[in-house]
Amino acid sequence: MDPDFGEALIRLLPNLRRYALSLARRGDLADDLVQTTVERAIRAAASYDPSVRLEPWLFRITRNAFIDLTRRQRTEGVQVDVFDIPEALPDDSDRAIEARLMLRATQEAMKTLPPEQAEILHLICIEELSYAEAAEVLDIPKGTVMSRLSRARLALGERLGIK
């Protein structure tokens, strides 16, 4: 395997874990998913086309691994948050506290969305994939990405009181 590919993979580990957590919502499952993704990526490195971005290529592996994993793991475990938003500190400014509350509200709102809406929001607005890349990861047409994403955005906006 090409060392450049390896280093790029290492750089993206935090993104992979974040995406895995957004799918699995359990720390232990997310760790398994990241590990499976790394193993599969190493094995399939030769088939990676360097002219496309690595993120969607890896996310697709992670997502397929998740589909595989859900075959085995049906039990509900302790759910964890994707983002670890720190508690407010006593000397935080009002603005910092407000920003933190806003992050928390966003995270909570994401949890209340149907999984397919939360997933597409995560891929595009958090991992910053293009519509075409998200279509590739999710294996759906770009038109479906747009209609699903627009519904998801409006649903999120509604929950956050964005008019």
Partner 1 sequence: MRIDDETLMALADGELDRAEAARVSAAIADDPEAQSRLRRFTETRARLKALSAAASHPASADDPLIARIRAASVPAQALADAPVQATAPANRNRAPLAALAAALTVVVVGLGWWQMGGPASGLPEAEVAALDSLPSGQAVLLEDGRDLTMIASYRTAEGVFCREYETARDTALTVSVACRDGDRWQQQFASDLTTADGYVPASGDIAALDAWLADTGAGDPLTPEDEAAALAQ
Residues lying near partner 1 in the complex (CB under 8 A): 1-3, 5-7, 9-10, 13-14, 17-18, 21, 27, 31, 34-36, 38-40, 42-45, 64, 67-72, 74, 80, 82-86, 99, 102-103, 106-107, 110, 116, 121-122, 124-128, 130-131, 138-140, 144, 146-147, 149-150, 153-154, 156-157, 160, 162-163
CA-to-CA dists, residue 67 to 14, 81, 95, angstroms: 20, 20, 41
Nearer to partner 1, 52 or 139 (CB): 139
Q: Please report how close the Cβ of residue 79 comes to partner 1 at its closest, in angstroms.
A: 13
Cα separation, 142 vs 108, whole angstroms: 28
Is there a contact between 58 and 41 (Cβ–Cβ < 8 Å)?
A: yes
Is there a contact between 34 and 58 (Cβ–Cβ < 8 Å)?
A: no
Q: Please report how close the Cβ of residue 60 comes to partner 1 at its closest, in angstroms.
A: 10
Helix, strand, or coil (residue 163) = coil
